[in-house]
Amino acid sequence: MSDAAIRRPLEPAKIFIELAATALIVAALSITLVGFHVKDVPGGFDVVTRFWDVLAAVVIAVVGRGWLIGLREGVPFPVAVTATPIAGILLLALISDWLFGGTLSETLRPILPFNSSVVQWLVAGIAAMFAAVGVTRAARERSAKSVEASEKFDDDAADFMDKVAAGAQRYTAWIGAGLLVVAVVLPFLPFMNLSTLDIAVLVLTYVMLGWGLNIVVGLAGLLDLGYVAFYAVGAYSFALLASPDSPVLQMMGIKEGVSFWLALPFAGMMAALAGIILGFPVLRLRGDYLAIVTLGFGEMIRVTLLNFYSLTRGPDGISKIPPPGILGYSTQPVMDNDTLENTTEFHTWIGREFDQYDNTILLYYVILVMALLTNWFTLRIRKLPVGRAWEALREDEIASRSLGINPTNTKLTAFALGAMFGGFAGSFFATRQTFVSPESFTFIESAVILAIVVLGGFGSQIGVVVASFLLIGMPELFRELQDFRMLFFGAAMVLIMLWRPSGLLARREPTIRLKDPPARGIRRERIKTREGDAPTTDAQSGDDLATGDRRP
């Protein structure tokens, strides 16, 4: 840190080359896909050119790169001076558009080459970020007159999330309790409406899936890219049992499906069984091989659901899946003419009009309880021998074996339990949608759930909540972004990983302590002495297979 205090002189030639290279590469990247749009027109295809956008992309990239170089070389002042007005103009135009419904951006089009306000927002946001960092640094430099202070500032910023993670862990109980209170009263908060509550239900579904997968990936360290398979098995098992449209029930001549509370454990068990059947042959495979095989399983299950028409109704899916009932009463208006008995409706029984919001509240609490049970289970099992064995296998399988841990069975337990929770979540999905079809169980779902676990920070239960909110909640709340939603989703996955490679709130809490937790809280230990750093003697080099070298 200290040698950075001596600022290197700027090298204009080098910087110019860097900027030119940036321009060239961005031009090469954008000239085709951005520059030419192959459009279908009646009777063939046509090319629409968009060179203006290519130019804009190049300019934006060069300016952004210039700002980055400015910050890197420790000259924040020019960055602040240029970024602030740009961010100002862009934001002003956007805000005025938004507030007055005007078209200032449209009027400014010749100097603001964005044909989409989303891109404009994005660029404005980046410019604002640079402006903020530039101004802060410039101000600091002026007052502290030293680069060291601003370097320290950077260091602090980098450690910020570490501290947040440590804090989150230290006050887990409080944060958990706080979140729980919010979660419990959420449906009755004044700003809630049907669509936000729906989003909350969706987020909780992913929280539960994340917690379930966390057992497999976070604790046992098994890279599962096909978690959606178990979600699908759960959903279909549930649907086949609960829906009056189920081919299985129809074949057996049963008119009415099983209730939610009976079908749920069955679906979980089916998913766990699927986990055992699929897991048994492949769990001895190493990390990446396991990943590709599980991905294959996900696809196999989806293809089977799509083509096994007599069981799954193929692409048509299974509909009329009933919502959870209460005390044997249906929570939906009963449509069927055969059973036109009002007494089967819960809302009639308690003397209320049917209200979709009430119904969603019920779903909300069901998934809340299911998710909390998953959480309780995970926290609990982590502290039991099998949980510790999972973590031990994740850390070092060979050492675990040498201590008498059965790797296959232990991993299989994790796989099956993870699958079971996936199955529970799948049942909930089925009952919420009232309809299941293979479309809902594509690879992207597996990727999203895995992303939630990894982005949140392995094994971090609160991390899963945060990541679910960021990845599921935010995009749903900003539905205007529609077209850009998945683009941002992908970009967010990349950026968060680049920023925090071990996840947002990665921090491991010991499962057992000899003493009380240390009062001073966070201790930052950076001394590492393992294989790589250890003093190596030639005695450490391989011994057993090197015989060949020495033979004459």
Partner 1 sequence: MEFQFAYFVDQLINGVTLGSIYGLIAIGYTMVYGIIGMINFAHGEIFMIGTFLTVIFFMLIIGTITFFPLAVLIVLLMSVLLTSVYGWTLERVAYRPLRGSPRLAALITAIGMSIFLQNYVQLLQGARNKPLTGILEGKDDILRVKYDLINTLNAAGQPYLVTISNLQLLIIILTVVVMVVFSQIISRTALGRSQRACEQDRSMAALLGINVDKTISMTFVMGAALAAVASLMFMMHVSTTDFFVGFLIGVKAFTAAVLGGIGSMPGAMLGGMIIGLVETFFGAYFNQEYKDVATFTLLVLVLIFRPTGILGKPDIEKV
Partner 2 sequence: MTSPMTQPMTQPLLSVEHLTMRFGGLVAIDDVSFAATDKEITAIIGPNGAGKTTVFNCLTGFYKPSVGRLALTWDGREFLLEQMEGFVIAKTAKVARTFQNIRLFPKMTVLENLIVAQHNKLMRASGYSVRGLFGFGYQGKEAEAVEIARYWLEQINLVDRADDAAENLSYGDQRQLEIVRAMCIEPKLLCLDEPAAGLNPRETADLNKLLLFLRNEHKIGVLLIEHDMNVVMQISDHIVVLDYGRKISDGEPEAVRNDPAVIRAYLGEDEDEELPDIVKQDLAGDGADDGPETQA
- Residue 100 CB coordination number (10 Å): 9
Q: By CB under 8 A, tell whether 479 contacts partner 2.
A: no
Q: Which CB, 45 or 100, lies closer to partner 1?
A: 45
Task: Single out the residue of 180, 194, 300, 350 in contact with partner 1 (rule: CB under 8 A).
Answer: 300
Please list, in sequence order, all residues whose beta carbon lies within 8 angstroms of the beta carbon of residue 382, skipping any fewer than 6 positions away. 219, 388, 391, 511
Residue appearing with tokens 């004044």:
190
- Residue 522 CB coordination number (10 Å): 13
Q: How far is residue 301's CA from residue 339's CA, in Å, rounded to a whole number? A: 36
Task: Single out the residue of 138, 213, 229, 293 in contact with partner 1 (rule: CB under 8 A).
Answer: 293
Q: Which CB, 125 or 244, lies closer to partner 1?
A: 125
Q: How far is residue 405's CA from residue 349's CA, in Å, rounded to a whole number? A: 55
Site for partner 1 in 499-538 (CB under 8 A): 501-502
Q: By CB under 8 A, tell whether 427 contacts partner 2.
A: no
Long-range contacts of 330-338 (CB under 8 A, 24+ apart): 331/359, 331/362, 332/359
3-state secondary structure of 446: helix
Question: What track of x and - describes contact with partner 1 for positions 43 through 82 (by CB under 8 A)?
Answer: -xx-x-----------------------------------
User: 504 near 496, Cβ under 8 Å?
Assistant: yes
Nearest approach, Cβ of residue 386 and partner 2 (Å): 4
Q: By CB under 8 A, tell whether 444 contacts partner 1.
A: yes
Task: Single out the residue of 327, 513, 519, 520 in contact with partner 2 (rule: CB under 8 A).
Answer: 513
User: 267 near 234, Cβ under 8 Å?
Assistant: yes
Nearest approach, Cβ of residue 462 and partner 2 (Å): 18
Q: By CB under 8 A, tell whether 398 contacts partner 2.
A: yes
Q: Which CB, 230 or 428, lies closer to partner 1?
A: 230
Residue appearing with tokens 């454990």:
265
Residue 45's binding partner out of partner 1, partner 2, none, with CB under 5 to 8 Å set by partner kind: partner 1
Q: Which CB, 90 or 381, lies closer to partner 2?
A: 381
Of 447, 503, 502, 416, nearest to 291 by C-alpha is 447
CA-CA-CA-CA torsion sign (357, 361, 366, 370):
positive
Nearest approach, Cβ of residue 323 and partner 1 (Å): 32
Nearest approach, Cβ of residue 495 and partner 1 (Å): 8
Residue appearing with tokens 């997968």:
213
Nearest approach, Cβ of residue 324 and partner 1 (Å): 33
Q: How far is residue 293's CA from residue 48's CA, in Å, rounded to a whole number? A: 42
Nearest approach, Cβ of residue 503 and partner 1 (Å): 8
Q: How far is residue 349's CA from residue 329's CA, in Å, rounded to a whole number? A: 8
Q: By CB under 8 A, tell whether 399 contacts partner 2.
A: yes
User: 281 near 408, Cβ under 8 Å?
Assistant: no
Nearest approach, Cβ of residue 419 and partner 1 (Å): 17
Residue 549's binding partner out of partner 2, partner 1, none, with CB under 5 to 8 Å set by partner kind: partner 2
Q: What are phi and psi of 413, to 5 degrees?
A: -60, -45
| Element spanning 45, H or E | strand 44-49
Q: By CB under 8 A, tell whether 287 contacts partner 2.
A: no
Q: By CB under 8 A, tell whether 103 contacts partner 2.
A: no
Q: By CB under 8 A, tell whether 439 contacts partner 2.
A: no
Nearest approach, Cβ of residue 57 and partner 1 (Å): 11
Task: Single out the residue of 284, 352, 380, 479 in contact with partner 2 (rule: CB under 8 A).
Answer: 380
Q: Which two tokens stand for residue 495?
A: 């950026």
One-letter amino acid of 276: I
Q: Which two tokens stand for residue 15?
A: 């910087």
Q: By CB under 8 A, tell whether 481 contacts partner 1.
A: no
User: 151 near 1, Cβ under 8 Å?
Assistant: yes
Strands (E), 130-179: none
Q: By CB under 8 A, tell whether 265 contacts partner 2.
A: no
- N residues, the chain: 552
Which residues is 44 bridged to in the sheet? 41
> Which positions lie near partner 1, rule CB under 8 A?
25, 28-29, 31-34, 36-40, 44-45, 47, 217, 223, 281-282, 284-289, 291-293, 295-297, 299-300, 303-304, 306-307, 398, 443-444, 447, 450-451, 454-455, 458, 483-484, 486-487, 489-494, 497-498, 501-502, 542, 544-545
> Which positions lie near partner 2, rule CB under 8 A?
377, 380-381, 384-389, 391-392, 395-396, 398-407, 508, 510-515, 517-518, 525, 527-531, 534-552
